[in-house]
Structures are given as C-alpha cells and as structure tokens.
Structure 1
Amino acid sequence: MSIDDDLASNVCVSRLNQNGFALLPSPFTAEELDQITADLTVAIAESQRDGESIRTRAGAAYAARNVLSVYPAVAQVWRKSSLVDLLLEVLGAHCGLVRVLYFDKPPEKTWSLPWHKDLTIAVREHVAASGRYEKPTLKAGVPHVEAPLDLLQQMLTLRIHLDDVDAANGALQVLPGSHKTGKAAASGTPHLVACRRGDVLAMRPLLSHASGESAAETRRHRRILHLEFAATPQLEEGFAWQLFQSVT
C-alpha cells in the first residue's frame, strides 16, 4: 500500500467513524462495470419468474435478494484491494460477506424508501426464542432476525453503484452521525449521496437512510449492488449466518 493509499484509507475510516458513511472513488474500470452490469441484467431477467427472490413491478425488476444464487460471480467482482483493505481495517481479520442485495429504480417504475436503519440479518434458521435476536421473519424464503446492537455495530455495507446517481434518479439520503444513536431514530439535516458510476458507498447499517422517487422525466436506472459484511463468522444462542464468505 502506498503512502497515498494509506492517507486515503485513514480519511475513509475517519469519515466512517464520524459520519457513519464514506464515498470511495470507483476501483473498477469502465469495461469491468460494463461486464458486471450486462451479466447481472441477464441473470435478473432469467430469474424474474422466481417471485421469492426477484421483486418486480409492472414487469420491471427493482430488487433481488439471494443475489449470490442468481449471480454467483458477485462473490468475486467486489474484491478490489482498496475494498478488501478497508474491510480488514474496519472489521478485522476474521470478517466476511454475509448478504448481497440488488436494487434498481427502473425508468417509469420508480419507488421510494422511508427513513430507516438496517437492523435485520439473514440466518440459517430460526431457533428457540432469544433475548438478543428478535422479530423473526422470512424474506424471500430466508429466515431473518433483528440483530443485537453490538453485532450491528461490527458490520459494514458496501454499495457499488452501476449508474451515475443523483437526485434525478433517487439517490440515497443519509443523516450524518446517526449511527451513533444505536437502533433509535435520529434527526438532523439529510445529506444526498450523489456519486458516479462505479463509486462505492461504505456505510454503517445503523446509519439512518432513505431515498426518494426518481424524477418523472428521467430515463436513467439506479442499479446498486448492496453487500453486507460482518466482523465475525460466529453468532450466539444457536444462530448461524445464512451465508458467510471470508474476506481473506
């Protein structure tokens, strides 16, 4: 790692600690982004008939869970040295990938998302009642629970943008510093995360975030790969990650 890389990493970690998010310039080439987008588009289209994992509106896919089963290559495409180094510095040597989601706001099929924090994790199965793992649900056929606070504080999300994103196509809004309020709702001045294609948003799951609808006149997608990482491969009280792929 060069001195410049060290400085960039330090700035990113500082911003994550202070604000709960940091925007990283694209580590991908244009050709890599073209290939990822093309392969993912084909995989999503071929899997639209599976209503459990691909969510559609008027024929347009706008979200997918269990992305690894639809597009297995996603397990490798994110593995850029700058991203791996950041994950190891923030989460430690034993961290791993635990969930991959996909979101789009197709032209003329837009949607919005209210303010919230990401509190649920995907697990292998629901086990006996727990005081720490709460509110069991099924999402796309996969068991989920609300995770304990200390676990969520040791997680990091990387959002890879496959399109230029701004207010016109429903960019994410965040409340800087809201990850410090735990699971509780936060208040503050929203910050719009505009970014270029290929840029990666690193964010804590406890950061309050929302997104508005795309502008009526837009013809642009807002395609995002959303990857969640955790510091430890082990959960407690009989629970296990539905997926854990070590970063190292």
Structure 2
Amino acid sequence: MHWRDQLDADGFTMLPTVFAPDEIGAVIAEWAEVTRAHAADEALLTGAGGPAYGARNLLELWPGVVGLVRAPGLRDALVEVLGPDAGVVRVLYFDKPPGHSWALPWHKDYSVAVTAHGPPGVFTKPTMKAGVPHVIAPRELLDRMLTVRVHLDAATPDNGPLRVIPGSHRFYHPGDDEPRAAETLCCHAGDVLLMRPLVTHASGHSAPAAGLHRRIVHLECAADLGLPDGYAWKWFRRVNEPRSDDQFPSIHPRNE
C-alpha cells in the first residue's frame, strides 16, 4: 500500500530510511549538547537523578530541530498532506532510558500549545505545561494536523514500541473507536512515523534487561497559521522552506 493511502485509511504510516545513520548520529550529538546547556530547565524531564526521559518546548531549547521536517523527502510528504502553508507548532522529545523505562495507556493526543488562554469556546481545559499555555483542541483542528516521529533508535519489541489502533483517527473519543486489533510499530533508526493526532495509541515498558534507549523527536505540524476564537499558536515554524546552514550543520543533505 502506498504511504498516503495507508495514512488516509489507518491514520498512520512509516516512511523508511528518511535519515541515514550519520545524520541520526549528528542529531543525537546535537541533542546531547542541548541537554547539557539546559540541564536546569523545567522543560527537561528527568527523574530521581536519571537521564532525561522527555522534554518539552524544543522549539525554544533547540531551534534548529525544525530542520528535521525540512529534510527533502519528509518536507515533500508533509506539504502533500497538509499543504504549502504547513508549520511545526510543537516539538517534544521522548526516551525510555535503560533502567528508567515508563509506559502510557491508550489515549489520543488532544493538547496544543497556544500563546495565552482565552475565553471558553472551541478550545477547552486550559493547562500550563513547562510554562506554556495548552488547551484541548476540537476535532476540526486535529484533523488538519499531523505528528512526525523521528526515530533516533530502532523500535523493537524490547524497548517499549508504540502500539496503535488502525482507523481510530476517524473518532474523537477512544470509546467510539471501531473494535480493531492493535498493531505494534517496530522500525529502524532513521525511519519516520507520520500519525494523525486522533489515532489511539499506547506503549509499554522496555524489557528490564534490554539495555536499550528509545529516543524519538516528536514534531506536531498544522496545516496553517490560523486558529479560531482569537487564539494563536505558541510556535509556528514553516515546513516548506529550505533547511538553513545553522540547522544541523553537521548533516550533509543527500538530496539538496
């Protein structure tokens, strides 16, 4: 099945080998520098003296991270799905470090980052996450968004890979999903998962003796700059632009 057909039917698709091993190595090295520079920032999530298992606000901590979606093959796919005005609106980081694994139950992704909380309307449940206002978005907005998960490590049965319910992106509430078997998404480092926010998904703990990381850069993209009810995105970085020299300077684009 063509990747676009699978995305439309199932709500997710895997793009293989978007990034070569040397490119992934450069991304990991840059992320290590970012974590050292921002070790005390509340956006960096650590526990009990362990390594970072997650991070928020990457568009502030690591502005060059937007260069990932501007890799030629990936940029073209995002423009095909979201249109020429698409932008990155939030970036997160996840890891399941050896000895510090975690799990998440079945859920859909509803939260978006905005500049400020406004009056009740189409957006609900205002919260603050690492100093940034967030709200729950309506289906009409989430249907025009796409999540990009860049795998910095292979996802295997032993390091808590993502599990998804195919076709669940057609329903806003998990209880309305059609009863379909879950799929476990294993892949190689450098592969990229495209996923609609409303896909119901979960992940389990890594196997205790696996000794594996599961590092992922999670980039959320929207079709355009507009939001209803006077709201504005906290961040918006256009996808359809060339990758500049200061974004991953150690990466030599293979197709530019």
Q: TM-score, normalised by structure 1?
A: 0.92
In the alignment, is residue 183 of structure 1 matched against residue 159 of structure 2? Answer: no
2:78 paired residue among 71, 81, 87: 87
1:71 aligns with 2:50: no
Distance of 1:148 and 1:181 partners within structure 2: 12
> C-alpha separation between the residues in 2 aligned to 1:155 and 1:78?
14
* Within-5 A mapping of 1:96-107: 96-107=87-98
Q: Aligned partners of 2:36 and 2:214: how far apart in 1?
A: 16
Same amino acid, percent of matched pairs:
46
Which residue in 2 is equivalent to 1:212? 204
Show the counterpart of 2:227: 235
Which aligned segments of 4 or more residues in structure 1 are displaced greater than 4 angstroms?
none
Aligned twin of 1:196: 188
SS at match of 1:73: helix
Q: Deviations over 1:174-221 (max 9, x none)?
A: 001110122343342110000000100000000000000000001110
Offset at residue 77 of structure 1 (A): 3.0
Structure with more helix by fraction: 1
Q: Give the match for residue 3 of structure 1.
A: none
User: Partners of 2:130 and 2:8 in 1: how far apart?
Assistant: 32
- The 5 A counterparts of 1:13-92 are 13-50=4-41, 52-59=42-49, 60-92=51-83
Q: For residue 21 of structure 2, what is the amino acid of its counterpart?
A: A
> 1:96, 1:245 within 8 Å by CA — same for their partners in 2?
yes
Structure 2 residue 177 is the aligned partner of structure 1 residue 163: no
Residues 156 and 228, structure 1, Cα contact 8 Å, conserved in 2: yes
Q: Which amino acid aligns with 2:37?
A: E
Inter-partner Cα distance in structure 2 for 1:168 and 1:22: 21
What amino acid is the match of 1:230?
A: A
User: 1:152, CA displacement in angstroms?
Assistant: 0.3
How big is each residue's C-alpha offset from its partner over 1:68-91, in whole Å with a ceiling of 9 and x where there is no partner?
222222021331121111111111
**2:163 partner amino acid:** Q
Work out the CA distance in 2 between the residues paired with 1:234 and 1:206: 20
Q: Look up the SS of the partner of 1:89 in the other structure.
A: helix
- Letter in structure 1 aligned against 2:91: V
Q: Which residue of 2 aligns with 1:6?
A: none
Contact 1:58 1:109 in 2 (8 A): no
- Show CA shifts across 1:97-129 (max 9, x none): 101000000000000001000001000000122
Residues of 1 paired with 2:91 and 2:20: CA distance? Answer: 21
Alpha-carbon distance between aligned partners in 1 of 2:20 and 2:106, rounded to the nearest angstrom: 33
Equivalent pair of 2:69/2:239 in contact (CA under 8 Å): no
What is the CA–CA distance in structure 2 between the aligned matches of 1:30 and 1:55, rounded to whole Å?
26
Partners of 1:30 and 1:193 lie apart in 2 by 20
**TM-score, L = length of structure 2:** 0.89
Q: Which runs of 5+ in 1 are unaligned?
A: 1-9
Instruction: Return the match for 2:113 from 122, 136, 140.
Output: 122
Unmatched runs of 5 consecutive residues or more in structure 2: 241-256
1:133 to 101, 116, 123: 123
Contact 1:110 1:214 (8 Å CA) reproduced: yes
Whole-angstrom CA distance in 1 between matches of 2:182 and 2:174: 17
| Bigger mean CA offset, 76-85 vs 135-144 | 76-85
Amino acid at match of 2:140: D
Q: How many residues end up aligned between the 2 structures? A: 237
